[in-house]
């Protein structure tokens, strides 16, 4: 398990952490549980991804599927906030609002106050994680 292994490290030191992990993964087929906000590292290192919001998995898929076709609004927001060399944008996308107070969480889906697609149902019910495509799971009332 590696919890934020590259946070606040420059790219050279990051490589000194990640490269040995990659070697172990490829040589003996080891598995790692990588907990990180570093989506570039996820794209490069991980086979499968679980995106969490407010302590719940909101989307789970193989890395290629998740990055190419994110289904949850939070996942789309995260991926939209990553700069891309091929795009010349003046501003990155932002996720509006603030993270919820987990001592007093919002009713229903924890992401609904920040979701541009939320309906009144989203404030009333928490969606179950359901498979909407082969191996691609999402917890969203709009997708189930």
Q: Which residue has the higher pLDDT, 38 or 123?
A: 123
Mean pLDDT, residues 116-133 taken together: 95
Mean pLDDT, residues 106-113 taken together: 96
Question: What is the number of alpha carbons within 13 Å of residue 112 lying toward its C-beta?
Answer: 20
4-8, 47-51, 87-91: least confident range:
87-91
Query: Can you give the pLDDT at residue 52?
Result: 97
| List of long-range contacts for 71-77, beta carbons under 8 Å, 24+ apart | 71/132, 71/133, 71/136, 71/138, 71/140, 71/143, 72/111, 72/138, 72/139, 72/140, 72/143, 73/111, 73/115, 73/116, 73/117, 73/118, 73/140, 74/111, 74/114, 74/115, 75/51, 77/114
Query: Can you give the pLDDT at residue 103?
Result: 95
Mean pLDDT (the chain) is 91
């Amino acid at each position: 398990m590696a919890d934020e292994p590259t946070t606040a490290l420059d790219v050279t030191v990051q490589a000194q952490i990640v490269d040995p992990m990659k070697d172990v993964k490829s040589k003996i087929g080891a598995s790692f549980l990588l907990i990180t906000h570093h989506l570039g590292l996820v794209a490069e290192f991980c086979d499968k991804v679980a995106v969490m919001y407010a302590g719940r998995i909101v989307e789970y898929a193989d890395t290629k599927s998740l990055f190419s076709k994110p289904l949850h609004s939070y996942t789309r927001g995260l991926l939209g906030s990553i700069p891309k060399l091929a795009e010349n944008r003046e501003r990155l996308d932002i996720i509006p609002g603030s993270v919820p107070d987990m001592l007093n969480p919002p009713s229903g889906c924890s992401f609904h106050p920040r979701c541009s697609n939320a309906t009144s149902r989203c404030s009333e019910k928490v969606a179950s994680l359901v498979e909407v495509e082969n191996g691609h799971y999402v917890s969203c009332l709009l997708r189930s």
